[in-house]
Structure 1
Amino acid sequence: MQSLDQAASQEVPGVTLPSSVSAEQVMSRVSRRLLGFLFLLFMFSFLDRINIGFAGAAMSRDLGLSAAAFGLANTVFYAVYIACGIPSNLMLERIGARRWIAVLVVAWGIASTCTMFARDETSLYVLRMLVGITEAGFLPGMLLYISRWFPSEYRSRANALFMIAMPVTATLGSIVSGFLLELNGTFGLHGWQWLFMVEGLPCVVLGMIAWYRLDDSPERARWLSTEEKQVLAALMARDREVATRNGGGVASGRWLTAGTMRLALIYFCMVTSMGMVNIWGPQMIAGFSAGAGNVVTGFLVAVPQVVTVFAMLWLGSHSDRLRERRWHTFAPLAIGAVGWLAAAFLHSPALQLLGISLASAGAFGAMTVFWAFADQNLSSSAKVVGIAFINAFGNAATIVSSLMVGILKDHTQSFVSGICYAAVLLAIGAVLVIRGAHVRRATLNA
């Protein structure tokens, strides 16, 4: 197996690589410049998306919401999130990542903070709709952005370091939110109102920083030397050659193909479990840890997220090292399905927590590798819409699961039916990975 520097040094038409700069040096510099800040942005994006789950029990009690009404609030969020994803990516392409991402960050921070002013079902639905509109373009925009800065040899690790913001945020968010909920009554505000205010306002500052820190493309990065830009351009050109040989077809602008639909279906199956963990997970854990206070429950909710962080980092690194994507996606999906079944049918709280941890690690871990090869099945021109479509279609799962699990919970007074639904979809996703022609071993070398 070739080293990454050897792979990068292969001849690329029209590009001469300077011998004074290695691919590892260039990518190390790019990673240090971008990934830490993108991670921070995603932390607050994800926190403002899921903090309603932490506030759910107290908010439902204070506003008189049923489980179905609470689920509908999440359904409304994801409905507009899905509808606005593709237009947002097209806008990013039109005016540039730096300006568009900065505007989105400020806008969702304001919208999320305003959730503290919800007074009933209707006002909550309107406010969650505004949060969904402003957050819709961030993740697909960042996936497109990362694909233009990180060659395929480095992309799974870059995705892992970026996307661990989700479990890290859920871990820290559950703990911080537990303390914020204890502020109930301070200055006449409910605990959940403190939660939305404290977790939303920092985004306004981060959006202003993004305006000055991000660059639209490597060519415009003043912090890269000419030689470093040449190395990065060569690596990206080599990716396009490999995509052409493997059937990616950079000459084609089509994005809605059978392969794209298969990828979208796989992502749908993953997101079902990701949404279950983030939206309903805190209430599931609170249910089998009855009697624990907000702070203790917050620490228990953090356990699956800690397991997930390590799983994502290991899978991303191991997949890049072996240059294999298919089985690194299948295995965590299968393990996640088993985890859900354990959470549903075992009666020990410790084993139920272990089951939820396996389900979370499986779904999020598979996603880390999934995005490393999904964009390789789209042409350069089709990525703008294709990535947003896969993300939008996958997130439709959250609409379905939020509403379905809420209704099932109201009728059965149990999460077992909803958990079984998530387990079945993870199993279907695993089967689609194995049978999918587009989900295959990534051939990174010529």
Structure 2
Amino acid sequence: MDELAVRRAARPGAAAELEARTMRKVTLRLVPFLMLCYFIAYLDRVNIGFAGATMRADLDLSATAFGGAAGIFFLAYFFFEVPSNLALNTFGARRWIARIMLSWGIISGAQAFVVGEWSFNFVRALLGVAEAGFFPGIIFYLTLWFPTAYRARIVGWFMFAIPISTVIGAPLSGLILGMEGIAGLHGWQWMFLIEALPAVLMSGVVLYYLTDRPREARWLAADEREWLQQRLDRERAQRESILDLSWLKAMLDYRVIALGLVYMGCNIPQYGLSFFLPQIVKAFGVSDISAGFITAVPYLVGAIGMILWGAHSDKTGERTWHAVIAFGFMIVGLGGAAFVADPTLKMLLLCVAGFGFFAVLPVFWTLPTAFLSGAGAAAGIAAVNSIGNLGGYFGPQAFGLLRDQTGSDVVGLMFLAGSAAIGMLIVIVLAYNSAISRNLATRAAA
């Protein structure tokens, strides 16, 4: 550290000022950019739901076949998640995330050319392979830049891209679906092609813009780089003094497996509903564009809940009951919507569920990062995400099957609510100790 930096550090309150200045720079540099990347990723992942009604008719797909193809993405994702995240730890986030975005953009656009159930399943599986590692890679990347005390709110802002991708993407996709017949293509084909392009373009930007670790950040002053790297190194040392897991041990740790099941309890309801919500809304008798705007409403509520709930969890330092209460909103909203026919009341209850879907996410992702670090964190976070994302496979498939078998959404919505209830119970049984994170942060800051 140079002489000027030493004098600054010696002044009363200088440490707090240095922390605030550094974290403000890091947040403004990384979070909006990563949000944009995830916005693109999530829209490419779920835009199949917006295409569902017209695509099923054009390709003669049943609800079961459509749900299975939508969900097979997550089955492929499951098998390639951990290897991809270990590769990110080896090659660096900048290069690996750029590779992921380029490959998934190309394959996402290829969905425009499927001709039936088999080709649809094949391309969706390839998309899962291509995108594997992106989300847990970003979560791991955030642990390389943000100390423990900041993580719930930062993850909340990053994952804000999920509901916003639907708030913006639903009406946008509705408008693109109106391009039916242009150049001999269906509207859903145009949607896949147009919405895949940003991922391909952003892959080049990622290579230029991202920095792998704080010590390499030339956009931070020397004292800022040194403070942040030392703070993170101290937290990592404190964490590893309590529990130092290799990547293999992390994957097999009972808490990692349990948290994977909790995350499945988040994803079965979220994806099970998201792939079919546009079709549920369309059944109200509205146009494609109106259905897009109505579909966006629960996600707008969820976006607000995600930011407020994550910030409140950081402020109080409490994690378990914040997660449990969010699961409670899911259960009440989905369970209530199952037995209500009135469109307005059904959407109101789905807004309650939407709050729960997204409020739980920033709180949940503080749980594995509280005891994992290094290669163990890369593998453990990927394992949690891999197990949890099987919910993205089972949710849409089960919902579609139940819809075909019963002719309604009642049993399907109850199934989604029951999955959330199981996730909530596992969180309670795990009895996460928030004092661990508080102690790590306090000791590292000292």
Same fold (TM over 0.5): yes
Structure 1 unaligned regions, length at least 5: 1-8, 10-16
Aligned match of 2:427:
433
Q: Distance in 2 between matches of 1:73 and 1:417?
A: 21
Structure 2 unaligned residues grouped into runs of 5+: 1-8
Task: State the shift of 1:264 in Å.
Answer: 1.2
> 2:314 aligned with 1:320, yes or no?
yes
Cα deviation, residue 377, structure 1: 2.1
Q: 1:159 aligns with which of 155, 161, 172?
A: 155
Change (3 A) 1:359 1:184: same
CA contact (8 A) 1:342 1:351 kept: no
Q: Given residue 40 of structure 1, which amino acid in structure 2 is its aligned partner?
A: L
- Distance in 2 between the 1:362 and 1:375 partners? 21
Query: Which one has the bigger helix percentage?
Result: 2
Correspondence for 1:33: 29
Task: Tell me the CA shift for residue 350 of structure 1.
Answer: 1.3
Partner SS, residue 244 of structure 2: coil
Aligned-residue offset at 1:330: 0.8
TM-score between the two structures when normalised by the length of structure 1: 0.92
Corresponding residue of 1:22: 18
Q: Is the Cα contact below 8 Å between 1:259 and 1:377 reproduced in 2?
A: no
- Tell me which amino acid in the other structure corresponds to 1:43: F
Displacement of 1:285 in angstroms is 2.2
- Percent identity of paired positions between Structure 1 and Structure 2: 37
Residue type of the partner of 2:379? V
1:344 pairs, out of 338, 348, 354, with: 338
Q: Which residue of 2 aligns with 1:191?
A: 187
For residues 439 and 344 of structure 1, the distance between their equivalents in structure 2, rounded to whole angstroms, comes to 35
Amino acid aligned to 2:220:
L
Q: Could you tell me which residue of structure 1 aligns to residue 64 of structure 2?
A: 68
1:373 counterpart SS class = helix
Alignment partners' CA distance in 2, 1:174 and 1:168: 10
1:204 to 195, 200, 219: 200
CA shift for structure 1 position 97? 0.8
Distance 1:109 1:59 in 2: 20
| Partner of residue 4, structure 1 | none
What secondary structure sits across from 1:60 in the alignment? helix
Is 1:445 the counterpart of 2:442 in the alignment? Answer: yes
* Runs of 4+, deviation exceeding 6 Å: none
- After TM superposition, give the deviation of residue 402 of structure 1 in Å: 1.8
CA distance in 1: counterparts of 2:239 and 2:315, whole angstroms: 19
- Give the Å deviation of 1:215: 1.1
Task: Normalising by structure 2, report the TM-score.
Answer: 0.92
Q: What residue is the counterpart of 1:52 in the other structure?
A: 48
* CA RMSD, Structure 1 to Structure 2 (Å): 1.8
Deviation string 1:227-283 (CA, Å, 9 cap, x unpaired) is 1112112321343355357x5x13666212121122111111011111123212212
Q: Counterpart in 2 of 1:174?
A: 170
1:100-151 CA-to-partner distances (Å, cap 9, x unmatched) read: 1101111111111111111111111111112111111100110100111111
Q: Deviations over 1:263-307 (max 9, x none)?
A: 1111110111111232122122222x2x21011111100100110
* Aligned with residue 411 of structure 2, among 410, 413, 417: 417
Measure, in 2, the Cα distance between the counterparts of 1:242 and 1:279.
42
Deviations 1:381-429 (A, max 9, x none): 3111100000000011121122211111111111111111111121122
CA-CA distance at 1:216 after TM superposition: 1.2
How many angstroms apart in 2 are the aligned matches of 1:31 and 1:304?
Answer: 27
Q: 1:336·1:359 contact (CA, 8 Å) conserved in 2?
A: yes
The amino acid of 1:418's aligned partner reads: G
The count of aligned residue pairs is 427
Match of 1:83 among 69, 74, 79: 79
Instruction: Select 2:217's aligned residue among 215, 221, 227.
Output: 221
